[in-house]
Amino acid sequence: MLESQINKFLSLPELKFTKKRNLKNYVIEFECYKTNEFEVCPKCATKSYKVHDRVFVHIKDIPIRNKLIFLKIKKRRFKCPNCKSVFREPIPGIKKGFKTTQRFRSHIRWCASNFSDLKRVTKQLQCSSWLVYTAFYEQLKLENKKWQNEWSSTVGVDEHSFLRNSKSHSTEFTSIFVDYNNNRVREAILGRSMDDLENSRIMDIKGRENVKNVVMDMSGSYKKFVTKHFPNAIITCDKFHVVKLFNHALNRIRIEVMKHPYFLKSRNSPVRRLYLKNHERLSFSERHVVRHINSLFPELKEMYKFKERMLFIYNIKGFKRARKAMTKLTDEMAQSGRKIVQSLRKTVVKWRREILNYFRTRLTNGRTEGYNRKAKLIQRKAYGYRNFENYRLRLIYDCR
Ligand SMILES: [Zn+2]
């Protein structure tokens, strides 16, 4: 009883072991054969009982207790009584023409995604790096096929750099679409322009009308794409990026101001940190410094006030109140004569509806940014990718 159970555990279905041999002290070979009486002809689907001849094949299987396992299978060749063609019997668990079992290839996938580099995998499994490479991406493709769901109700969009194009010396970008409901990267595509998005796999995923919310940073092409192809979606602008715009404008004014001889010429001046920080979090003495500098430079004071107001708006509860505060802020910005403030106001007004949607949906792009971080880690672990398709498979497999 136990023997048959072990046999069942070790072998593939329909195979029976006959002999075990230790080839070296770390290699074990099992001799086995297939037990069924007949095979069906692949050409005309007629049952065939007539064995033409027998051949041995060596198949590599998943290692057990650090010992490499080989299956020496006595394969029969059958002759079809109908069309007279000769064919080999197929063995479940081994693809036609392959010298490894499917479970071994799946084990390669496990090793390759858990070991720190692929050289260790080749050493551990005693196989070529080519086999690791092909089996890994083939298995990733199979795994990812299991996760082909429709669009869910909330989606996050963002981009990150992929590689530098050697010909044009420009950076190529990857856009990722994150499924917020199932907590994973749904799709990744090369490029971020409208053309790239429209000619990509994004269009093949079904259920675009299911999407109710899309979170994104202030990118024109994403907005255009989402409004065109996701008819029921409400776009929410990420709050971090809005505050970043204000901080950026403030920083530019600060750099101009600090050319004044009043300041010491130092690359990492502590003033920068003071101005980026939320005013509420400054200590008493720090507030005093900020107030003093602001009193000397009115242009800095003005922009600092706008930045603090924007931070304050994000603490407001309720859509209507936030809308009112936002209108007041943009009206005040309109009265300023400075170019930087005017261009900032233009952007804020252009994205006004999306920024205000935050007070309805309360969604941020934090999760997408987190996956961006993970994507960067995957790139680093592989010392960079040359093939985008492989990168995409790895990214979707790891971020799920
Ligand atoms: Zn036949």
Identify whether residues 105 and 195 lie together within a single domain. Answer: no
Q: How far apart are CA 284 and CA 290, in angstroms?
A: 10
Positive or negative, the CA dihedral 87, 88, 93, 96 is negative
Q: Which tokens sit at 210?
A: 């299911």
H-type helices in 191-269, by residue range? Answer: 194-198, 220-229, 239-257
Question: Which residues have CB under 8 Å from 163's CB, separation 6+?
Answer: 171, 172, 384, 385, 386
How far apart are the CA of 87 and the centre of ligand 1, in A?
A: 9
How far apart are the CA of 98 and the centre of ligand 1, in A?
A: 23
**In the chain, what's the furthest Cα-to-Cα distance?**
101
How far apart are the CA of 69 and the centre of ligand 1, in A?
A: 35
Please say which residue of 128, 146, 164 terminates a domain: 146
Identify whether residues 7 and 82 lie together within a single domain. Answer: yes
Phi, psi of 34 (to 5 degrees): -90, 140
Identify whether residues 312 and 214 lie together within a single domain. Answer: no
How far apart are the CA of 44 and the centre of ligand 1, in A?
A: 4
How far apart are the CA of 32 and the centre of ligand 1, in A?
A: 26
* pLDDT in the model for residue 117: 80
Q: Which of 63, 97, 76, 62 minimizes the C-alpha distance to 14?
A: 76
How far apart are the CA of 78 and the centre of ligand 1, in A?
A: 10
* pLDDT in the model for residue 376: 93
Q: How far apart are CA 253 and CA 276, in angstroms?
A: 12
How far apart are the CA of 318 and the centre of ligand 1, in A?
A: 75
Determine the 3-state secondary structure of 186 from DSSP. strand
Identify whether residues 232 and 368 lie together within a single domain. Answer: yes
Identify whether residues 117 and 214 lie together within a single domain. Answer: no
The structural domain count of the chain equals 4
How far apart are the CA of 35 and the centre of ligand 1, in A?
A: 21
Phi, psi of 50 (to 5 degrees): -90, 115
Please say which residue of 146, 178, 213 terminates a domain: 146
Q: How far apart are CA 245 and CA 261, in angstroms?
A: 28
How far apart are the CA of 46 and the centre of ligand 1, in A?
A: 6
How far apart are the CA of 34 and the centre of ligand 1, in A?
A: 20
* pLDDT in the model for residue 107: 93
How far apart are the CA of 37 and the centre of ligand 1, in A?
A: 17
Identify whether residues 294 and 356 lie together within a single domain. Answer: yes
- The whole-number mean pLDDT for each consecutive block of 10 residues of the chain, a chain of 400 residues, reads 76 84 88 88 89 92 90 91 90 90 93 87 91 93 90 93 82 92 92 90 89 91 92 92 92 86 74 86 91 89 91 91 93 89 92 92 90 92 89 91
How far apart are the CA of 52 and the centre of ligand 1, in A?
A: 13
* pLDDT in the model for residue 1: 64
The domain of 49 spans: 1-97
Helical packing angle, 239-257 and 339-350, nearest 10°: 170
How far apart are the CA of 49 and the centre of ligand 1, in A?
A: 12
Q: Residues 73, 64: contact at Cβ < 8 Å?
A: no
Q: What is the pTM of this model?
A: 0.85
How far apart are the CA of 48 and the centre of ligand 1, in A?
A: 8
Identify whether residues 69 and 6 lie together within a single domain. Answer: yes
The tokens 């970043």 sit on which residue?
A: 244
How far apart are the CA of 59 and the centre of ligand 1, in A?
A: 27
Question: Which residues have CB under 8 Å from 135's CB, separation 6+?
Answer: 100, 105, 108, 109
How far apart are the CA of 82 and the centre of ligand 1, in A?
A: 5
How far apart are the CA of 33 and the centre of ligand 1, in A?
A: 23
Identify whether residues 244 and 357 lie together within a single domain. Answer: yes
Q: How far apart are CA 108 and CA 61, in angstroms?
A: 11
How far apart are the CA of 86 and the centre of ligand 1, in A?
A: 8
How far apart are the CA of 79 and the centre of ligand 1, in A?
A: 8
Identify whether residues 244 and 356 lie together within a single domain. Answer: yes
Q: Which of 341, 340, 344, 345 minimizes the C-alpha distance to 327?
A: 345
Q: How far apart are CA 176 and CA 37, in angstroms?
A: 52
Please say which residue of 85, 114, 146 terminates a domain: 146
Identify whether residues 272 and 346 lie together within a single domain. Answer: yes
How far apart are the CA of 14 and the centre of ligand 1, in A?
A: 22
Torsion of CA 265, 268, 271, 274, to 10 degrees: 180
Q: Which of 9, 114, 113, 110 minimizes the C-alpha distance to 69?
A: 9
Identify whether residues 246 and 174 lie together within a single domain. Answer: no
Q: What is the CATH number of the domain that holds 389?
A: 3.30.420.10
Identify whether residues 79 and 123 lie together within a single domain. Answer: no
How far apart are the CA of 11 and the centre of ligand 1, in A?
A: 29
The tokens 């799709």 sit on which residue?
A: 187
